[in-house]
């Protein structure tokens, strides 16, 4: 992927939830909600304050994050869908071993 987000923006790839079928009912993809969990693929250099200082982001490439339903902007790069969002749209980072 050849994209470098600017400032406090991050590029996120959604993590698809595993489909569980109960009672033989299969839900079509068009009826499913988009997942609100993703993996950080790229991060900007940080947030610039009014005095010109640059503050590094808390999230890092490889972090698994939770974000709001309407967060970010959808983009498609080389056939893969990603989101670009500001770091402040991230609700939390999922710690290792917990999914």
Task: Identify whether 2 is part of a domain.
Answer: no
Task: Identify whether 69 is part of a domain.
Answer: yes
Total domains in the fold of the chain: 1
Task: Identify whether 48 is part of a domain.
Answer: yes
pLDDT digits (tens, 9 = 90+) for 70-95: 889 999 988 889 999 999 999 999 98
pLDDT digits (tens, 9 = 90+) for 17-70: 655 555 666 666 555 566 689 999 999 999 989 998 999 999 999 999 999 888
Whole-model pTM: value is 0.76
Asked if residue 42 lies in contact with residue 61, where contact means CB atoms within 8 angstroms, the answer is yes
Bridge partners of 66?
37, 92
Residue 25's contacts (CB-CB under 8 Å, 6 or more residues apart) are none
Task: Identify whether 76 is part of a domain.
Answer: yes
Exposure of 1 by Cβ count < 10 A (0-12 exposed, 13-18 middle, 19+ buried)?
exposed
């Amino acid at each position: 992927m050849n994209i470098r987000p600017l400032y406090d923006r991050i590029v996120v790839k959604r993590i698809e939830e595993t489909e569980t079928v109960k009672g033989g009912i299969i839900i079509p993809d068009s009826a499913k909600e988009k997942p609100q969990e993703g993996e950080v693929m790229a991060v900007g250099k940080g947030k610039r304050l009014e005095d010109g200082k640059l503050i590094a982001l808390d999230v890092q490439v490889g972090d698994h994050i939770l974000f709001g339903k309407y967060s970010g902007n959808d983009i498609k790069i080389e056939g893969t869908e990603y989101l670009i969002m500001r770091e402040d749209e991230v609700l939390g980072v999922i710690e290792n071993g917990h999914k």
